Structure formats: C-alpha cells, structure tokens
Amino acid sequence: MSKIAVLGYGVVGSGTVELFYKNKDKIIKKSGRDLDIGYILDIRDFPDSPYADKFTKNINDILEDDDVKIVAEVMGGVGDAYEYTKKCLEKGKSVVTSNKELVAKKGAELLKLAKAHDCNFLFEASTGGAIPIIRPLHQCLAGNDITGIEGILNGTTNFILTKMINEQMSFEDALSMAQKLGYAEKDPTADVEGHDACRKICILSSLAFGKHVYPDWVHCEGITKLTLEDACYAESWGGAIKLIGSVKRTEDGKILPMVRPAFVCYGNQLSHISDVFNGVMVYGDAVEEVMFYGRGAGKLPTASAIVGDIVDAAKMNGTSVSQVWEDSPDSSFIADYKDDVVSVYVRVRGVTGEKISSAFGTVEYLSREGQPDDELAFISPAMKERDFDAKLDSLGGQVLGKIRLLDM
C-alpha cells in the first residue's frame, strides 16, 4: 500500500482528507493503486478528530517512511512549505499543492528537483480551485500554439465587483460583506491589491510560454481605487468591471503578463461571471478560444483539484515531461506594459470637452444617472499606454478614475 501525507490541516487540508475518505474506493480504482492517508502534519492538536491517530508534528516521520509516496502540501506560504516540499522531492516523494505563492516564486526550482529525483511536483489546485486549467494547458491543448490567456482568477474580488455592479454597493460595503461571508480574509490585501491573481497568472504564463515568470516582473493593480461611479459608467458603456489577469505574446516575440481592473464588454463571456466564480479564456491557433469556468476557491472545490493530482501522481511512472518550464535569469523576455496599445476609460472633473478633444481627438463620452455637471467620462482612442499617460497629464483637472478596456 502507498501512503499519502497531508501537510497542514486547515480549510483545504481538512477538505482534502474529507474528500479522500468520502470517495476512497473510487479514488483507489481510478489510480490503480492501493492508497491511504498515513500522516497529517500540523502543529495543532486534534484529539477529537476521527483521524487523530494519523497526526504528527514531525516532518521526519513522513520523510523517513518509504511507504509515503505522495505528499499534499496545503500549508501555504514559502517558509516551512518550501523547505518541506524540497525535502520530500529529494526523497523521491511526489508533491501536490494548492500553494500558488510557492509555485509562482519557486516553481522552476521545484520542477527541476522533481525531475532529478524521478517524482512529480503537481499544482492543479494553485490557479483555479476546482477549475481544471493546468492539465489542459500542457496536455489537452498541447497541439496548439498558445497566444494568450485571460481570466477572472480571484473569487473574492469578483464577488466584491458583482455586488458593486448588481446591488450598487460601495467598495467598502462589498468588502465588508465578503469578509462576513468568509470570502475575504481579515487582511484582504492579497486579494484586493491583485497579488493573488498575479501569482496565478505567473503560473499560467510560465506553463504556457515555457519560462518562469516571477511576480515581481508583472505589472499589478488591484481594485481598491474603484468606485460605484466607475461601475455605473461601465454599465452605461455596455459592460462590467472585472479584475483580469492576462498574458499575451507581443509582436516582437516577448510576453506581456498583467493584472488590472478592466472594462469588459457584455459580448465577452468573462463579463457575465459573477460572485465567487472564476473563468479562464485560453487562445490558441487551432482552438481559437476555449473557456474554463467554475468555483475558484473553497474547501471542497480546492480539495477536488488536490485529490485529482494525487490520483495523477499515483498513476504516473516517472516525472511528467510536459508540466515543466525553464528558470529565467532575467526579465528580458517580458514586454513593457507601457508599450501596449490600449483604450482607456477616464473620469475627470474640472476639464472641458475642448481640452479632451485637443488632447485625445475623437472620444466616446459616457453618462450615468446623477452625473455632476463638472464631471466627464470618456473612452480614449487606442494608443500606446505611455502616449495615453502623456495626454492625460496634459489635461489638468482632477482624474477620478482610469480603467483599461480588455483588448483580447
């Protein structure tokens, strides 16, 4: 029998154990191997748990047991999780994880380590929760030249924006509701500032284009500056505001990964994804576009992806040759987002239409209910972002809002 070790017994860890035992017979049949959970590592005590006999506080119990073939790392962060993952891989134990920070920052190193020790480092749960996206990218869509990926990668921010759009809530009130419902942490910075989505687009970019994209190389903006007024203008324009993580190949062969709020027209399927659901669009030369949709987070949805990777790891004979990318010594293959050609929504106060026309030429003006007399909102013509910034600086007045239009 092959043993599984689960590192961490929080929300995802407990969900992984729960789902494994709920569907154990089916999991064993699908994996073709007799499996059981041998250890659960956590610094806390769980004396009333039905799995109390499986708990340990010592990682060496797992490392020194040759029957442990697969380890599910669900601790989070890049401290102990990173050190334990390295040690497990060095012992030839495959590791599956939902830890997007670990994969985004250390993925190239850990994939190389897995290959050196003839085991696997799998991370389907790190980007889309229950949504299968990692496996399709390197297996189902392997015959395509992938040209771009874009999506809603964070359920918390999508919930907040949905409330702002559908129920006319302020950002602050929508965030407060998300926290009360357990969708947002007490400290919501990673979600609302875009860091979570940034880690996920780094992982997808690395896998799709073959070179490790580090979070520090990605231009990232969150949703904290968005207002109810912006949401109303988006609706009058014919779309919705979404926090979009994307990557595309540029004309010079580089790639441009980015996270930012965007106006998404109602003709784009992403505009209709609401609440805590996520959606990812993949563009390829053969399929043109395909979409993956589902719950992007949560106890059992994330556990579903973890257990799926456990089954895959159990079935594999040797290291996956397709779920891999190279490390990157520098960011020379990353395009400057300021050179990207964009149209931008702008909301200003104290600026005349004549000055806007003088700076931008012909623009599309927007309106909303209750629009003040001294407020103008418009969509700029498409141009390089650095040129747009220069024209916006020349306007004077007060810039109240600035949001790019989704261009893929």
- Distance, C-alpha 269 to centroid of its chain: 18
- Single out the catalytic residue among 3, 100, 200, 391: 200
The angle subtended at Cα 193 by Cα 349 and Cα 329, nearest 5°, is 120
Closest CA to 394 of 342, 356, 364: 356
Contact 219, 129 (CB under 8 A): no
Q: Does residue 22 carry a catalytic annotation?
A: no
Alpha carbon of 156 to those of 69, 178, 264, 350: distances in Å? Answer: 34, 7, 18, 34
Amino acid identity for residue 205 in this structure: S
Give the 3-state DSSP-derived string for 246-267, with helices as H, strands as E and coil as C.
EEEECCCCCEEEEEEEEEEECC
Pairing of strands 94-97, 121-122: parallel
In contact, 294 and 145? CB cutoff 8 Å: no
386 to 150, 286, 365, 392, 401: CA distances (angstroms): 22, 33, 22, 10, 17
Residues making up the chain, counted from first to last: 408
What whole-number distance in Å separates Cα of residue 343 and Cα of residue 182? 36
Token pair 């929760």: residue? 129
Instruction: Give catalytic residue positions.
Output: 200
